[in-house]
């Protein structure tokens, strides 16, 4: 099993090797003020009539990025959020590298992941390994070169869904506000996102250890995810010799079909 990094004690992991919501409670969110607290009403003067309207300090408005984060959490925590997350990048061991292209479709707590490693070293140039993982109604299946096989011991938190750990605004860290295609967007960091399991790396990887996970996502003012990056840094034992090697994933993410009718079925 993957060891949990010190900075993210809730990292989830899965054994794919055998095959190769809470609603947003705005008033309860901690860490940032979503609803400003005004001063209590001023009591009527003893010398004047009680009909005098008490002066109340208006609640301060949310900042643009706080409002975007609140909208994002509202989408994610609703329990029926759907989208496609496409990605491309690379997966690397200390002595070999492969490019990665694929996508994960998400519909609520169900997902379907489909991606391909393509060898880029001299000895495996152009070789392809396709990996598929699917989870429906709390059960999961995986597929490499062979047939679909049930993943034993699968849990709801064992997932490729990037936002599975987001329940309140406390689970989303604001990073920066920037421009994307001429529009203002907000960069946020999401914890505990394990988008690809290192067990899927061709070549028998065991005893993986996560050193760091980093998922950053660009969201618009309405909380809609647009693009992002994911980085995994770790190590593991590789091959029959159990040589200790570094493991690195670097992926660029693009979100589409947000809110679309996505159907995910068991194989």
pLDDT above 60 for 261: yes
**Residue 62, pLDDT score:** 82
pLDDT above 70 for 50: no
- Cα radius of gyration rounded to whole Å, the chain: 23
Under the banding of pLDDT at 50, 70 and 90, the label for residue 51 is: very low
8 A C-beta contact, residue 127 and residue 120: no
- Tell me: the pLDDT tens digits for 5-32? 433 333 334 445 445 522 222 222 222 2
Average pLDDT, the chain: 81
**Residue 43, pLDDT score:** 41
Instruction: Give how far the C-alpha of residue 248 lies from the chain's centroid of Cα atoms, to the nearest Å.
Output: 17
Q: Which residue has the tokens 């070293």?
A: 121
Extended beta strands in the chain, E state:
82-93, 97-107, 110-119, 128-136, 139-143, 149-150, 172-180, 183-190, 205-219, 225-238, 243-256
State the Cα–Cα distance between residues 124 and 142, nearest whole angstrom. 24
Under the banding of pLDDT at 50, 70 and 90, the label for residue 204 is: confident
Q: Average pLDDT, stretch 147-174?
A: 93
**Residue 89, pLDDT score:** 97
Q: What angle do CA 112, 117, 119 make, to 5 degrees?
A: 175
**Residue 134, pLDDT score:** 97
Instruction: Give the contacts of 147 (CB within 8 A, at least 6 positions apart).
Output: none
State the Cα–Cα distance between residues 21 and 236, nearest whole angstrom. 33
8 A C-beta contact, residue 117 and residue 99: yes
State the Cα–Cα distance between residues 149 and 73, nearest whole angstrom. 34
- Which domains does the chain show, CATH number per domain? 17-31+64-256 (2.50.20)
Of all residues in the chain, the percent with pLDDT exceeding 70 is 77
Q: Identify which of 132, 129, 104, 133 has the alpha carbon closest to the alpha carbon of residue 118.
A: 129
pLDDT above 80 for 159: yes
What pTM, to 2 d.p., does this model score?
A: 0.77
**Residue 60, pLDDT score:** 64
State the Cα–Cα distance between residues 14 and 159, nearest whole angstrom. 8
Q: Average pLDDT, stretch 150-155?
A: 91
Q: Which residue has the tokens 């002595």?
A: 95
Greater pLDDT, 154 or 187: 187
Residue 225, phi then psi, degrees to nearest 5: -75, 140
- Tell me: the pLDDT tens digits for 221-256? 999 999 999 999 999 998 888 999 999 999 999 999
Q: Average pLDDT, stretch 171-185?
A: 95
């Amino acid at each position: 099993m993957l060891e949990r990094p010190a900075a993210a004690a809730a990292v989830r992991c899965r054994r794919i090797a055998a095959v190769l919501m809470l609603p947003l409670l705005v008033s309860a969110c901690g860490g940032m003020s979503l609803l400003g607290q005004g001063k209590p009403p001023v009591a009527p003067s003893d010398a004047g009539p009680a009909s005098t309207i008490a002066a109340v300090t208006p609640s301060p408005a949310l900042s643009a990025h706080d409002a975007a984060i609140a909208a994002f959490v509202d989408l994610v925590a609703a329990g029926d959020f759907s989208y496609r997350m496409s990605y491309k990048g690379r997966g690397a061991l200390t002595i070999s590298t492969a490019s990665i292209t694929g996508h994960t479709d998400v519909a609520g707590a169900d997902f379907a992941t489909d991606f391909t490693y393509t060898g880029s070293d001299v000895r495996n140039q152009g070789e392809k390994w396709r990996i598929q993982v699917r989870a429906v109604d709390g059960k999961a299946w995986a597929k490499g070169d062979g047939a679909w096989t049930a993943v034993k011991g699968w849990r709801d938190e064992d997932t490729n869904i990037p936002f599975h750990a987001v329940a309140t605004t406390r689970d989303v860290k604001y990073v920066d506000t920037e421009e994307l295609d001429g529009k203002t967007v907000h960069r946020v960091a999401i914890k505990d996102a394990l988008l690809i399991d290192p067990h899927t790396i061709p070549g028998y990887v065991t005893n993986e250890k996560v050193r760091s996970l980093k998922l950053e996502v660009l969201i618009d003012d309405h909380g809609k995810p647009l693009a992002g990056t994911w980085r995994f840094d770790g190590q593991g034992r590789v091959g029959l010799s159990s040589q200790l090697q570094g493991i690195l994933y670097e992926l660029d993410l693009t979100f589409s079909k947000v809110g679309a009718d996505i159907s995910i079925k068991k194989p």
